[in-house]
Structure 1
Protein backbone atom coordinates (compact mmCIF):
# COMPACT_ATOMS: atom_id res chain seq x y z
CA UNK A 1 0.00 0.00 0.00
CA UNK A 2 1.09 3.52 -0.67
CA UNK A 3 1.73 5.82 2.29
CA UNK A 4 -1.15 7.92 3.54
CA UNK A 5 -0.92 11.61 4.52
CA UNK A 6 0.77 12.25 7.86
CA UNK A 7 -1.67 12.38 10.81
CA UNK A 8 -4.48 10.84 8.76
CA UNK A 9 -6.12 7.44 9.41
CA UNK A 10 -6.46 4.94 6.60
CA UNK A 11 -10.27 5.13 6.84
CA UNK A 12 -12.32 8.17 7.85
CA UNK A 13 -16.00 9.06 7.72
CA UNK A 14 -17.79 12.29 6.85
CA UNK A 15 -20.88 13.46 8.69
CA UNK A 16 -23.31 16.11 7.49
CA UNK A 17 -25.30 18.45 9.73
CA UNK A 18 -27.95 21.10 9.15
CA UNK A 19 -26.16 23.25 11.74
CA UNK A 20 -22.56 22.06 11.38
CA UNK A 21 -21.00 24.82 13.54
CA UNK A 22 -23.28 23.88 16.46
CA UNK A 23 -22.63 20.18 15.82
CA UNK A 24 -18.85 20.69 16.00
CA UNK A 25 -19.14 22.51 19.34
CA UNK A 26 -21.45 19.78 20.64
CA UNK A 27 -19.23 16.90 19.43
CA UNK A 28 -16.32 18.47 21.31
CA UNK A 29 -18.35 18.94 24.51
CA UNK A 30 -20.32 15.68 24.46
CA UNK A 31 -17.94 13.15 22.92
CA UNK A 32 -14.51 14.73 23.48
CA UNK A 33 -13.51 15.40 19.86
CA UNK A 34 -10.95 18.11 19.12
CA UNK A 35 -11.26 20.31 16.05
CA UNK A 36 -8.00 20.34 14.12
CA UNK A 37 -9.23 22.15 11.00
CA UNK A 38 -12.36 24.19 10.25
CA UNK A 39 -13.07 25.92 6.93
CA UNK A 40 -16.08 28.20 7.22
CA UNK A 41 -18.24 29.25 4.29
CA UNK A 42 -20.96 31.79 3.72
CA UNK A 43 -24.16 31.84 5.77
CA UNK A 44 -22.74 30.04 8.84
CA UNK A 45 -21.81 26.90 6.89
CA UNK A 46 -18.87 24.57 7.23
CA UNK A 47 -17.14 23.76 3.96
CA UNK A 48 -14.84 21.23 5.63
CA UNK A 49 -13.85 20.38 9.19
CA UNK A 50 -11.64 17.70 10.67
CA UNK A 51 -12.27 16.48 14.21
CA UNK A 52 -9.85 14.14 15.93
CA UNK A 53 -10.34 11.61 18.69
CA UNK A 54 -7.06 9.89 19.52
CA UNK A 55 -5.68 8.70 16.19
CA UNK A 56 -9.12 8.74 14.52
CA UNK A 57 -10.51 11.55 12.38
CA UNK A 58 -14.01 12.38 11.19
CA UNK A 59 -14.92 15.09 8.74
CA UNK A 60 -17.91 17.37 9.39
CA UNK A 61 -19.66 19.46 6.77
CA UNK A 62 -22.86 21.39 6.33
CA UNK A 63 -25.73 19.42 4.76
CA UNK A 64 -26.57 19.92 1.14
CA UNK A 65 -23.28 21.48 0.14
CA UNK A 66 -23.20 19.25 -2.94
CA UNK A 67 -26.91 18.44 -2.98
CA UNK A 68 -26.38 14.79 -2.05
CA UNK A 69 -25.18 14.89 1.55
CA UNK A 70 -27.76 15.42 4.25
CA UNK A 71 -28.29 15.11 7.97
CA UNK A 72 -30.51 12.34 9.39
CA UNK A 73 -32.58 15.22 10.85
CA UNK A 74 -33.87 15.91 7.34
CA UNK A 75 -35.10 12.31 6.93
CA UNK A 76 -36.89 11.51 10.16
CA UNK A 77 -33.70 10.26 11.85
CA UNK A 78 -33.00 7.53 9.27
CA UNK A 79 -29.34 6.47 9.41
CA UNK A 80 -27.30 4.72 6.77
CA UNK A 81 -24.28 4.31 9.02
CA UNK A 82 -23.19 4.21 12.63
CA UNK A 83 -19.78 5.10 13.98
CA UNK A 84 -17.77 3.14 16.54
CA UNK A 85 -15.14 4.82 18.67
CA UNK A 86 -12.85 3.11 21.19
CA UNK A 87 -12.54 5.12 24.41
CA UNK A 88 -10.57 4.61 27.61
CA UNK A 89 -13.51 4.71 30.06
CA UNK A 90 -16.97 3.98 28.65
CA UNK A 91 -18.85 4.87 31.83
CA UNK A 92 -17.19 8.29 32.20
CA UNK A 93 -17.64 8.95 28.48
CA UNK A 94 -21.34 8.05 28.70
CA UNK A 95 -21.80 10.38 31.68
CA UNK A 96 -20.13 13.23 29.76
CA UNK A 97 -22.30 12.61 26.68
CA UNK A 98 -25.48 12.41 28.78
CA UNK A 99 -24.62 15.68 30.56
CA UNK A 100 -24.21 17.38 27.16
CA UNK A 101 -27.66 16.18 26.05
CA UNK A 102 -26.85 13.04 24.06
CA UNK A 103 -29.75 10.61 23.70
CA UNK A 104 -28.39 7.41 25.25
CA UNK A 105 -29.79 4.56 23.14
CA UNK A 106 -28.14 1.77 25.14
CA UNK A 107 -26.70 2.09 28.62
CA UNK A 108 -23.13 0.82 29.12
CA UNK A 109 -23.09 -2.94 28.96
CA UNK A 110 -20.31 -5.53 29.10
CA UNK A 111 -20.41 -8.35 26.56
CA UNK A 112 -18.10 -11.27 25.94
CA UNK A 113 -17.58 -11.88 22.24
CA UNK A 114 -15.67 -15.14 22.64
CA UNK A 115 -12.09 -16.32 22.89
CA UNK A 116 -11.02 -14.77 19.59
CA UNK A 117 -12.38 -11.26 20.19
CA UNK A 118 -12.54 -10.75 23.97
CA UNK A 119 -14.81 -8.61 26.10
CA UNK A 120 -15.95 -5.03 25.47
CA UNK A 121 -18.00 -2.54 27.47
CA UNK A 122 -20.16 -0.48 25.11
CA UNK A 123 -22.89 2.14 25.04
CA UNK A 124 -24.93 3.64 22.21
CA UNK A 125 -25.80 7.31 21.73
CA UNK A 126 -27.48 9.58 19.24
CA UNK A 127 -26.16 13.09 18.59
CA UNK A 128 -28.15 16.29 18.25
CA UNK A 129 -29.07 15.65 14.59
CA UNK A 130 -29.64 11.91 14.76
CA UNK A 131 -26.29 10.31 13.87
CA UNK A 132 -25.85 7.07 15.80
CA UNK A 133 -22.64 6.34 17.68
CA UNK A 134 -21.24 3.35 19.59
CA UNK A 135 -18.50 3.93 22.16
CA UNK A 136 -16.62 0.89 23.36
CA UNK A 137 -13.87 0.00 25.79
CA UNK A 138 -11.81 -3.18 25.63
CA UNK A 139 -11.99 -4.81 29.08
CA UNK A 140 -10.47 -8.19 28.25
CA UNK A 141 -8.15 -9.08 25.40
CA UNK A 142 -7.72 -12.78 24.62
CA UNK A 143 -4.21 -14.23 24.60
Structure 2
Protein backbone atom coordinates (compact mmCIF):
# COMPACT_ATOMS: atom_id res chain seq x y z
CA UNK A 1 0.00 0.00 0.00
CA UNK A 2 1.33 3.45 -0.93
CA UNK A 3 2.41 5.67 1.95
CA UNK A 4 -0.23 8.21 2.88
CA UNK A 5 -3.08 5.96 1.73
CA UNK A 6 -3.93 3.94 4.81
CA UNK A 7 -7.04 3.47 6.88
CA UNK A 8 -10.41 4.60 5.63
CA UNK A 9 -11.36 7.59 3.49
CA UNK A 10 -14.88 8.69 2.60
CA UNK A 11 -15.70 8.95 -1.10
CA UNK A 12 -18.48 11.48 -1.49
CA UNK A 13 -20.61 12.11 -4.57
CA UNK A 14 -21.78 15.58 -5.61
CA UNK A 15 -23.82 16.75 -8.57
CA UNK A 16 -21.26 19.59 -8.91
CA UNK A 17 -17.85 18.56 -7.61
CA UNK A 18 -16.32 21.89 -8.66
CA UNK A 19 -18.70 23.76 -6.34
CA UNK A 20 -18.28 21.12 -3.62
CA UNK A 21 -14.48 21.40 -3.72
CA UNK A 22 -14.66 25.19 -3.41
CA UNK A 23 -17.20 24.93 -0.57
CA UNK A 24 -15.30 22.28 1.43
CA UNK A 25 -12.04 24.23 1.24
CA UNK A 26 -13.66 27.61 1.96
CA UNK A 27 -16.04 26.58 4.74
CA UNK A 28 -14.24 23.71 6.48
CA UNK A 29 -10.67 24.71 5.62
CA UNK A 30 -9.87 21.33 4.06
CA UNK A 31 -6.69 21.33 1.96
CA UNK A 32 -6.93 20.35 -1.69
CA UNK A 33 -4.31 17.77 -2.73
CA UNK A 34 -5.27 17.14 -6.34
CA UNK A 35 -8.17 17.53 -8.74
CA UNK A 36 -8.95 15.78 -12.02
CA UNK A 37 -10.92 17.90 -14.46
CA UNK A 38 -12.70 17.25 -17.74
CA UNK A 39 -12.04 19.23 -20.92
CA UNK A 40 -14.31 22.05 -19.72
CA UNK A 41 -12.37 22.38 -16.45
CA UNK A 42 -15.13 20.84 -14.32
CA UNK A 43 -13.93 18.68 -11.42
CA UNK A 44 -14.67 14.99 -11.94
CA UNK A 45 -12.71 13.80 -8.91
CA UNK A 46 -10.60 15.43 -6.20
CA UNK A 47 -8.67 14.52 -3.07
CA UNK A 48 -8.72 16.75 -0.01
CA UNK A 49 -7.03 16.49 3.35
CA UNK A 50 -8.65 17.13 6.72
CA UNK A 51 -5.86 16.92 9.26
CA UNK A 52 -4.31 13.49 8.73
CA UNK A 53 -7.28 12.06 6.81
CA UNK A 54 -8.00 12.03 3.10
CA UNK A 55 -11.43 12.70 1.61
CA UNK A 56 -12.29 11.82 -1.97
CA UNK A 57 -15.04 13.61 -3.87
CA UNK A 58 -16.53 12.88 -7.27
CA UNK A 59 -18.85 14.82 -9.52
CA UNK A 60 -21.63 12.72 -10.95
CA UNK A 61 -24.98 13.96 -12.14
CA UNK A 62 -28.40 12.29 -12.07
CA UNK A 63 -27.64 10.37 -15.30
CA UNK A 64 -24.93 8.43 -13.47
CA UNK A 65 -27.38 7.17 -10.85
CA UNK A 66 -30.17 6.49 -13.34
CA UNK A 67 -27.79 4.27 -15.32
CA UNK A 68 -27.21 2.28 -12.12
CA UNK A 69 -30.96 2.04 -11.50
CA UNK A 70 -30.97 4.04 -8.26
CA UNK A 71 -32.19 7.51 -7.30
CA UNK A 72 -28.84 8.66 -5.96
CA UNK A 73 -26.34 8.12 -3.19
CA UNK A 74 -27.58 7.45 0.31
CA UNK A 75 -26.61 9.76 3.15
CA UNK A 76 -23.88 9.36 5.67
CA UNK A 77 -22.35 11.26 8.55
CA UNK A 78 -18.68 12.21 8.42
CA UNK A 79 -16.89 12.87 11.71
CA UNK A 80 -13.91 15.23 11.72
CA UNK A 81 -11.89 15.11 14.94
CA UNK A 82 -10.55 18.53 15.97
CA UNK A 83 -8.55 19.90 18.89
CA UNK A 84 -10.79 22.94 19.44
CA UNK A 85 -14.40 22.62 18.29
CA UNK A 86 -15.16 26.21 19.32
CA UNK A 87 -12.44 27.54 17.03
CA UNK A 88 -13.65 25.30 14.19
CA UNK A 89 -17.25 26.41 14.74
CA UNK A 90 -16.23 30.08 14.58
CA UNK A 91 -14.38 29.51 11.29
CA UNK A 92 -17.28 27.57 9.73
CA UNK A 93 -19.84 30.11 10.94
CA UNK A 94 -17.81 33.00 9.50
CA UNK A 95 -17.32 31.21 6.18
CA UNK A 96 -21.00 30.35 5.85
CA UNK A 97 -22.34 33.78 6.72
CA UNK A 98 -26.07 33.65 5.98
CA UNK A 99 -25.94 30.44 3.87
CA UNK A 100 -27.44 28.38 6.70
CA UNK A 101 -28.10 28.47 10.40
CA UNK A 102 -25.76 26.53 12.68
CA UNK A 103 -26.45 25.15 16.12
CA UNK A 104 -23.53 25.97 18.44
CA UNK A 105 -21.33 23.15 19.78
CA UNK A 106 -23.00 20.99 22.42
CA UNK A 107 -21.51 18.76 25.12
CA UNK A 108 -22.59 15.14 24.63
CA UNK A 109 -22.92 12.31 27.18
CA UNK A 110 -20.41 10.25 25.20
CA UNK A 111 -17.51 12.53 26.16
CA UNK A 112 -17.48 14.91 23.21
CA UNK A 113 -18.33 18.48 22.29
CA UNK A 114 -19.76 18.58 18.76
CA UNK A 115 -21.59 20.54 16.10
CA UNK A 116 -22.98 19.29 12.79
CA UNK A 117 -23.46 21.03 9.46
CA UNK A 118 -24.72 19.80 6.09
CA UNK A 119 -22.71 20.63 2.99
CA UNK A 120 -24.12 21.72 -0.35
CA UNK A 121 -24.53 18.07 -1.39
CA UNK A 122 -26.55 17.18 1.72
CA UNK A 123 -23.73 15.24 3.43
CA UNK A 124 -23.60 15.72 7.19
CA UNK A 125 -20.32 16.68 8.86
CA UNK A 126 -19.90 16.50 12.64
CA UNK A 127 -16.89 18.29 14.10
CA UNK A 128 -15.92 16.46 17.29
CA UNK A 129 -13.67 17.45 20.17
CA UNK A 130 -13.09 14.64 22.66
CA UNK A 131 -13.63 15.98 26.18
CA UNK A 132 -13.66 12.81 28.29
CA UNK A 133 -13.09 9.09 28.05
CA UNK A 134 -16.21 8.55 30.17
CA UNK A 135 -19.49 7.66 28.49
CA UNK A 136 -22.66 8.44 30.46
CA UNK A 137 -25.07 5.63 29.61
CA UNK A 138 -28.82 6.14 30.00
CA UNK A 139 -30.47 4.02 32.73
CA UNK A 140 -30.79 0.39 31.65
CA UNK A 141 -28.18 0.64 28.87
CA UNK A 142 -24.90 -1.25 28.93
CA UNK A 143 -21.61 -1.05 27.12
CA UNK A 144 -20.50 -4.41 25.72
CA UNK A 145 -16.99 -4.99 24.42
CA UNK A 146 -15.73 -7.90 22.32
CA UNK A 147 -15.33 -10.93 24.56
CA UNK A 148 -18.47 -10.12 26.54
CA UNK A 149 -17.02 -7.62 29.03
CA UNK A 150 -19.74 -5.11 29.88
CA UNK A 151 -20.54 -2.18 32.10
CA UNK A 152 -24.01 -1.05 33.09
CA UNK A 153 -25.36 2.48 32.85
Shift of 1:66: 7.8
Specify every segment of 5 or more residues in structure 2 that has no aligned partner in the other structure, as ranges: 135-153
Question: TM-score scaled to structure 2, two decimals?
Answer: 0.72
Question: TM-score scaled to structure 1, two decimals?
Answer: 0.76
Secondary structure at 2:6's aligned position in 1? Answer: coil
**Which residue of 69, 79, 83 maps to 2:78?**
83
Does the 8 Å contact 1:111/1:120 carry over to 2? yes
Specify every segment of 5 or more residues in structure 1 that has no aligned partner in the other structure, as ranges: 114-118
Shift of 1:42: 2.9
What corresponds to 2:60 in structure 1?
A: 63
Secondary structure at 1:84's aligned position in 2? Answer: strand
**Which residue of 5, 16, 36 maps to 1:39?**
36
Kindly indicate whether residue 87 of structure 2 is the aligned counterpart of residue 92 of structure 1. yes
Q: How many residues align?
A: 128
C-alpha RMSD over aligned residues: 2.6
What corresponds to 1:126 in structure 2?
A: 118
What corresponds to 1:141 in structure 2?
A: 133
Deviates more, 1:4-13 or 1:104-113: 104-113
Structure having the larger proportion of residues in strand? 1
Query: What stretches of structure 1 move > 2 A for 4+ residues in a row?
Result: 42-45, 102-107
